[in-house]
Chain A
Amino acid sequence: MRRIFWRIALYTSVLLVTTIILAPVCWMFIMSVSSMTDLTARPMQWLPATMDFSRYRMLLTFEPNSPGEIFLLALRNTFLAAAGASILSLIVGFPAAYSFSRLPGRRAPLLYLVLSTYMLPSAALILPIYIALSAFGLLNTPFSLAVVYCSIVLPFVVWLLTGNLNTLPREIDQAAAMDGANLWQTIRHVVLPLSGAAIGTAALFGLLLAWDEFFFSLILTNDLRAKTLSVAIADFAAGRATDYPLIATAGLLSALPPVFIAFFLQRSLVKGLAAGSVKG
């Protein structure tokens, strides 16, 4: 009897959590296929009279001066900025993490300093960044956005990779050195292949962090050449007549790529996060 009670309690809480997480997504979907009149009707109409998928087509068709153009260009910009930030952070972050994890010296305070930059409010950074980028003529490009996103992604990547490298026995590096490998060969043939899962996880998290970013993008971009999804969606809301179904559709579509990537990287993700808990 007790066991049945606990089982019911367990499933109820699972259901509750799932509902809380999925309800907004479901509501967004309903909004995206509803008509404007359904959404503004009183009393509230929970399900639309007819399913209208026209906004999906609208957003995914590239036509000059249409919401489609804004959305697709923003999608491209977001991808360039997020992937660029993720890749740049890995290129810089992996050697940094290796150094933190392996090389002798008193770098530990530096590692905490790295983390502290992560804790700085973006508002404190935005002015110097804006002035610097403007001086170099780099405002309003996805690539400078990628560089700026590194300030968010890089500390995270360094921390994650340092933690993962620490779980890799030092003797493996040392064995490589005894086998005649120099630092580069040790990293290339031994450490990198063994860090695959961690690198995948870091890349994914970096991508997601940058994908959702709003503040920097809002300040540092001003038109379709660099505007990212989060800002583009906000722009949809800022018009004179706000098209709620369109906003919902854009939100849903912009969430799809990260979900898709996360789904396929799931295995590596779990492995990366759990590295060290399983004996190699």
Chain B
Amino acid sequence: MSGVTINNVKKAYGGFEILHGIDAEIQDGEFVVLVGPSGCGKSTLLRMIAGLEGVTSGTIAIGDRVVNEVHAKDRDIAMVFQNYALYPHMTVEQNMGFSLKLAGRKAPAIRTSVEQVAGFLGLSPLLRRYPRQLSGGQRQRVAMGRALVRNPKVFLFDEPLSNLDAKLRVQMRSEIKSLHRQFPTTAVYVTHDQVEAMTLADRIIVMCGGRIEQVGTPGELYEQPANLFVAGFIGSPAMNFLPGELADDVTSVLLGEQRVSVKAPGHAKPRQRVTVGFRPEHVRFCDSGGIHFKVADVEFTGANSYVTGHIGREQICASIGGRAHVKAGQSASIAIDPASIHLFDTTTGKALA
């Protein structure tokens, strides 16, 4: 087991730079999720750790060893691919034992290791089957088994659940989590799904446009997003943003016609243009005296209702537990807890904190 240290890593294809200097420290045994919209460079970074892509500049170290020039096969890492990449002509047992066979282990020893991991993953009855005879979830499990058998220094996951249906995805998600609890090997996991990131990660690295936007625990990212991008990316439904202007005493902001008190930090300037962010789940409906809100649509999902509507001309969303007691077209009054309001500098996008 060992950590991964990424030091000012850049990646360019031809003259086109897609990673602009990434720094990250992944601790030994930590489960880190790289998350971001497609094209942000998260998969490229993962493939660079794997050794499947070259490093243009900077260094990547696994444990104490800089691995820039080390071939993928000698890095002692295992990877689970999005499309599983099982060997179609090998049985489940051969798929899982392939790495041990290459390492020169004897057949009985390979069988013991494979059977142990298979038992753990519930694959024992499937060992003689070929990948084409398995369901998507089973293939996924074989791909994980193939990685587990190796007992590698680092696990890499490249969007491993995105080919599964929604129900299976949730189930596999918790299996991966409990697996990591039992085998606390360093893991780097790439996904574009922020829910997956929030539920799995010890720490999340949010990326956008080839840069790291913020690194933190799921709680930190949710509660203290460093900028507008992270604030909008983490959380579902996404955070609401409204343009506003701080009052002269910087203790309140004008939202629609309503003045809402906020806790601005000391360095905030009077009359500063700000973006006010608040999460749908922190909106509550009140009888009167709140912000005027015109309901446009109500979506009932079972446990929650998402109420979309407008404050002035800005569209926002509110998430209410259970059924909402408002209807489309109705006017309502809402309140937002000042403690859960986030303020961002409109020009830089950075959080005022």
Contact = CB atoms under 8 A, between A and B. Distances in A.
B85 A172 contact: yes
Interface string A166-182: 00010110111111111
A190 to B, nearest CB: 6
Interface residues of B, number: 25
A190 B98 CA distance: 10
Contact of B98 (A174, A189, A194): A189
A180 B81 contact: no
Contacts of A172: 85, 87-88
A280 interface: yes
B73 A177 contact: yes
Contacts of B81: 171, 174-175
Given A178-B78, A180-B73, A189-B98, A169 B146 contact: no
A179 B150 contact: yes
B72 interface: yes
Nearest to B81: A171
A24 interface: no
B98 A178 contact: no
Interface string A189-207: 1100110000000000000
A172 B146 CA distance: 13
Contacts of B51: 177
Contact of A175 (B85, B89, B132): B85
Interface residues of A, number: 18
A19 interface: no
B79 interface: yes
A161 to B, nearest CB: 17
B295 interface: no
B84 to A, nearest CB: 8
A45 interface: no
B103 A175 contact: no
A185 interface: yes
Contacts of A193: 89
A181 B77 CA distance: 12
Interface string B44-63: 00000011100000000000
A179 B50 CA distance: 11
Contacts of B89: 193-194
A190 B50 contact: no
A206 to B, nearest CB: 24
B303 interface: no
Interface string B69-98: 001111001110111011111000000001
A174 B79 CA distance: 9
A177 B87 contact: no
Nearest to B132: A280
Contact of A179 (B82, B99, B132): B99
Contact of B85 (A169, A181, A182, A189): A169
Of B51, B78, B83, B89, chain A has the most CB atoms within 10 Å of the CB of B89
14 contacts: A169-B85, A171-B85, A172-B87, A174-B72, A175-B79, A175-B81, A176-B98, A179-B102, A180-B73, A181-B102, A189-B98, A193-B89, A194-B88, A280-B132
